[in-house]
Structure 1
């Protein structure tokens, strides 16, 4: 458990162990959320990655992606299709 003091301006210093745990650096922002009557502070970048992972969960299996090579090949295919579409529109 970490303790922080609130200044008259409502500011706090986030304890070093919490900053390390959330991978926070100078200038980073934090997001505050409520959940079950509790306030949770999170690194918004980590939160966005977590939400993206949850949103895409199961999609790899649906697309038949079983390896890193499968993902690389899919990216190449999509890039090729986008390139062809872009250049077809210019004709």
Structure 2
């Protein structure tokens, strides 16, 4: 358990070990959410990635990708068009 002091401006310093565990770097945005009466915080980039992965689940199969080689070929084809 870690403790952080709140400044007069409502700011806190997130302890280093927690920043490292959550992969929080300078300039990152933090998301706060409430669940079952408790508040939590997460790196907003991690949350965005989780949401994206959930929304894209099954999309590669629908697009006809069978393996990572298909994805690499697709990306190369797109880059050639630009």
TM-score under structure 1 length normalisation: 0.72
User: In 1, Cα distance between the equivalents of 2:2 and 2:64?
Assistant: 45
3-state DSSP of counterpart to 1:54: helix
Q: Which has the higher contact order (CA 8 A, sep 6+)?
A: 2
Over 4 Å off, 4+ runs: none
Structure 2 match to 1:65: 65
How many residues get paired? Answer: 82
Question: Where does structure 1 lack aligned partners over 5 or more consecutive residues?
Answer: 84-91
**CA offsets 1:25-47 (integer angstroms, 9 cap, x no match):** 12222111112222111111111
**CA offsets 1:61-86 (integer angstroms, 9 cap, x no match):** 33332211111233455x38xx5xxx
Structure 2 match to 1:44: 44
Structure 1 match to 2:35: 35
- After the TM superposition, which of the residue ranges 38-47 and 58-67 deviates more from structure 2? 58-67
